Every structure is written in structure tokens, then in C-alpha cells.
Amino acid sequence: MKKKILIVDDDPRNIFALKLTLKSKGYPVESSVSGKEAISVLKNNEDIKVVLMDMMMPDMDGYQTIKIIRETESIKNSTVLAVTAQAMPEDREKCLNAGADDYVTKPINVDVLISLIEKLS
């Protein structure tokens, strides 16, 4: 059985495309449109192993959401991959410093993403 993935993104088009791609590769997928909702989904779904976290969201961004994940005992060991359009070297460091396990840029290279999911989780 493939690892269950939570996609967190405020843009439903991004969720749709990524969900379709991951499901076609055999991954069970849940989704969330906000950081606050993502925390709730994670707490209520112990079988989610990987979180694909959009870093630029309104209200609670990916940095804040990852911080809460890492501070919450029941979900702190989730594998979190930061997903962002920001591609500068300092952006990668900022994501890792926020608690992400790794970082992928948009547009997402699916082969790279699948490789990271398998390597990290």
C-alpha cells in the first residue's frame, strides 16, 4: 500500500492537478485548502504519512502551519514537503528552518516529487 498524502493548497486547481497525478500513481490522497484545516485533517487521520505544504497561503501560511505540526505531539513526525513557487536558495533554507523535511518548487516535477516521497517517508 502506498503512503497516504495530504495536499495543502489554497488554490483548488493545484489540488486537483496534484491529486489526479498522485492518484494515478496509486497514492491515496486527502486535501485541505488552509493550514488550519490541514492541522485538523492530520489530527483526525493517523494514516496520513506525507504532507505537501503550499508555503504561500492567506491567513495561516505554510511556515506557520509547519511550526504547529512540529509542536503538536500527535502529528509532529509527519513528513512535510514544502511546495512553493519561490526557487531561490534562501527560500529552500527558510522552508527547512521552518521544519519541512524537504522542498519542491512549482511547477512540480512529478518524478522528483515521487522520489522525495519514497525517500523521506
Q: Which domains does the chain have, with CATH numbers?
A: 4-120 (3.40.50.2300)
The residues of the chain scoring below 50 in pLDDT are none
Q: What is the pLDDT of residue 62?
A: 97
Q: What is the pLDDT of residue 48?
A: 97
Whole-number Å distance between alpha carbons of 55 and 40: 18
Task: Compute φ and ψ for 72, nearest 5 degrees.
Answer: -105, 115
pTM score, two decimals?
0.95
Q: What is the pLDDT of residue 112?
A: 94
Q: Tell me the CA distances in angstroms from 38 to 59, 90, 112, one per residue in order.
A: 13, 25, 23
Could you report the per-residue pLDDT of 56-75, keeping only the tens digit for each?
Answer: 999 999 999 999 999 999 99
Q: What is the pLDDT of residue 87?
A: 76
Q: What is the pLDDT of residue 10?
A: 96
